[in-house]
Structure 1
Amino acid sequence: MLNGILVIDKDKGMTSADVVYHLRRVLHIRKIGHAGTLDPEVTGVLPIAIGQATKLIEMMHTRPKEYIGTGLFGYSTDSYDATGTVLKEKKLIHPFSSAEIQENMNKFVGEIVQVPPIYSAVKVNGKHLYEYAREGIEVERPQRRVEVKQYDLTKEPVFDINTGQESFDFKIKCSKGTYVRSLVNDLGEKLDCPATMTYLRRTASSGFDITQAVKLKEIEENPEKATELIQPIDAFFKEYTQVDLTEGKWLKVKNGAGISLETNAKKVALRYNKKVKAIYEKKGKLYRPSLMLLQNE
């Protein structure tokens, strides 16, 4: 039985659910789920929790995500990316300087209120926004608070004098629920020039990055490689205070009992036989169960 996180480098054209379906079929495991949906047009890091690691999915969502991408000044679309219908167009006479673009990117860094694109999976009254969009029904989109930790240019923007369009490459680090498409669209609004996202790749998510990722095709062609490529559950808790349990305390933990520990950490990863078996949280004078991972072998 596999237990851990398989970091997939998702290809363009696949949904996150597609990846889970293919892995279930090739690995013959039902207990699989993904953390952090990627749009079909977006590539990159898609963490797949397998076995006991499926218990971590909610925690995985809380970790920051990182992206690299490309935006384009010159037109905007209803989906905020190049797949949508063009709404506005504007030819640039003079391109924006790197300093102008970066100055306005900086205005989005921090905690902001964001309105998701109409073509998104956000639900209103039990229905996805993209369903309303496809039916031509206007609906008020809910605002959400997100945190943008970084929004930077990564190289000099490129101006095409023939089209009057200017492309720019960026890097973003943000909290869960952040729509990068919206950040590109809203940057255009700040500069009074329509903008859309033309490319996006996620480079990190849930504490894992692209250097740890593997292509789905590699697993499909060699299913046995999943055992050596999977990230152990313990890797997710590397920043936690680790406590190795004595035989006596392990017996208590197995039964979900509270225990005393010589540490002041709010949460601790409890290990037995060199594996994390539980996450305990301090409540009063004792540490009590927050998450049980007894089958982590």
Structure 2
Amino acid sequence: MINGILVIDKDKGMTSADVVYQLRKALHIKKIGHAGTLDPDVTGVLPIALGQATKLIELMHTKNKEYCGTGILGFSTDSYDLSGKLLQVQNLTEQLSAEDISKAMQQFVGRIEQVPPIYSAVRVNGRHLYEYARENITVERPKRLVNVFSYNLVGTPTFNKEKGQEEFSFQIECSKGTYVRSLVNDLSNKLNIPATMKSLRRTASSGFDISQAVKLDDIVCNPSHIVEYIQPIETFFKDYQQLNLTEDQWKKVQNGAAISLQTNEKQVALRYNKKVKAIYHVKGHLYCPELMLLQNK
């Protein structure tokens, strides 16, 4: 059994489900899933959990995500990106300063309320928003609270006087559930200029970054090479205190028993034979099981 995380550098045009399907076929593995959906037009980091690591998917979702991308000032679309229908056009006669764009971005840093794009997978009354959009049905989109830790302008914006548009690059670090398309679109409200997202690439997710990623074709065409790219389950818990179990403690953990530990941490990763076997949390004077990974070998 393969246990670990495979970090895929997803290409444009594929869904996250497409990636899982192809890997399942190539690796002949049933226990597989992705952490953090990427839209087909978005490239970059897509963590894939294999074997025992599938138990980590909910925890993987809680980690912050990082993106780099480009946006355009001068028009907007209903999908907030280039795939949507044109909604508004405003030909720019002069270039907006980098300072003005950066200042507008900073107003979205922190805990903010966000409305997801109509073309998104958010469910309302059991149906995805994009299903309503395709049928031209108006529906109230649910607002959500998200955390934006940084939203920065990168480099110098470029102005195309002939098109009446200005293009800019950005970097964002945010919590799960954040729609970057919305963050670009929302600049319209601060700048009084329509905006849309041109491209987006996720550079980090679930504690892994693009430097650890591999292209899907490299795995599908050479599945035997997967061991070269697998990130061990232990790497996900690098921010946890990891404690080595004694033989006696290991026997108790295998039975899901509470144990006494010499630590003040609220949550710890327990190791046996150099492998994380369980996550325990404090309860009173003992530590109790929270997540079991006994088959992590």
For the residues of structure 2 that align with 1:206 and 1:12, how far apart are their CA atoms?
20
Give, in angstroms, the shift of residue 221 of structure 1: 1.1
1:7-46 correspondence to structure 2 within 5 Å: 7-46=7-46
AA aligned to 1:35 is: A
Q: Which secondary structure does the structure 1 equivalent of 2:218 belong to?
A: helix
For the residues of structure 2 that align with 1:154 and 1:188, how far apart are their CA atoms?
18
1:238-249 correspondence to structure 2 within 5 Å: 238-249=238-249
Question: Unpaired segments of 5 or more residues in structure 1?
Answer: none
Equivalent residue number for residue 53 of structure 1? 53
Equivalent residue number for residue 163 of structure 1? 163
Equivalent residue number for residue 276 of structure 1? 276
Q: Which secondary structure does the structure 1 equivalent of 2:263 belong to?
A: coil
Q: Which secondary structure does the structure 2 equivalent of 1:156 belong to?
A: strand
Q: Which moved more, 1:91-100 or 1:286-295?
A: 91-100
AA aligned to 2:82 is: A
Equivalent residue number for residue 131 of structure 1? 131
Q: Does 1:254 align with 2:266?
A: no
Give, in angstroms, the shift of residue 95 of structure 1: 1.4
Equivalent residue number for residue 102 of structure 1? 102
1:227-246 correspondence to structure 2 within 5 Å: 227-246=227-246
Q: Which secondary structure does the structure 2 equivalent of 1:168 belong to?
A: strand
Q: Which secondary structure does the structure 2 equivalent of 1:181 belong to?
A: helix
Q: Encode CA deviations 1:129-173: one digit per residue, 9 max, x unaligned.
A: 000000010000000000000100111000001011000000000
Q: Does 1:115 align with 2:103?
A: no
For the residues of structure 2 that align with 1:104 and 1:46, how far apart are their CA atoms?
29
How many equivalent residue pairs? 297
Question: Unpaired segments of 5 or more residues in structure 2?
Answer: none
AA aligned to 1:275 is: K
Q: Which secondary structure does the structure 2 equivalent of 1:201 belong to?
A: strand
Equivalent residue number for residue 224 of structure 1? 224
Q: Encode CA deviations 1:164-186: one digit per residue, 9 max, x unaligned.
A: 10000000000000000000000
Q: Percent identity?
A: 68
Equivalent residue number for residue 197 of structure 1? 197
For the residues of structure 2 that align with 1:90 and 1:59, how far apart are their CA atoms?
43
Q: Encode CA deviations 1:242-292: one digit per residue, 9 max, x unaligned.
A: 100000000000000000111000100000001000000001100000100
Give, in angstroms, the shift of residue 93 of structure 1: 1.4
Give, in angstroms, the shift of residue 122 of structure 1: 0.2
For the residues of structure 2 that align with 1:96 and 1:257, how far apart are their CA atoms?
63
For the residues of structure 2 that align with 1:133 and 1:57, how far apart are their CA atoms?
29
Give, in angstroms, the shift of residue 224 of structure 1: 0.8
Give, in angstroms, the shift of residue 209 of structure 1: 0.1
Equivalent residue number for residue 180 of structure 1? 180
1:132-151 correspondence to structure 2 within 5 Å: 132-151=132-151
Equivalent residue number for residue 3 of structure 1? 3
Q: Encode CA deviations 1:47-79: one digit per residue, 9 max, x unaligned.
A: 000000000000000000000000000100000
Give, in angstroms, the shift of residue 96 of structure 1: 1.1
For the residues of structure 2 that align with 1:36 and 1:189, how far apart are their CA atoms?
28
Q: Encode CA deviations 1:97-122: one digit per residue, 9 max, x unaligned.
A: 11101111000000000000000000
Equivalent residue number for residue 264 of structure 1? 264
User: Could you state the TM-score of these two structures normalised by the residue count of structure 2?
Assistant: 0.99
Q: Which secondary structure does the structure 2 equivalent of 1:120 belong to?
A: coil
Give, in angstroms, the shift of residue 190 of structure 1: 1.1
AA aligned to 1:137 is: I
Q: Encode CA deviations 1:1-34: one digit per residue, 9 max, x unaligned.
A: 1000000000000000000000000000011000
For the residues of structure 2 that align with 1:235 and 1:225, how far apart are their CA atoms?
19
Give, in angstroms, the shift of residue 204 of structure 1: 0.2
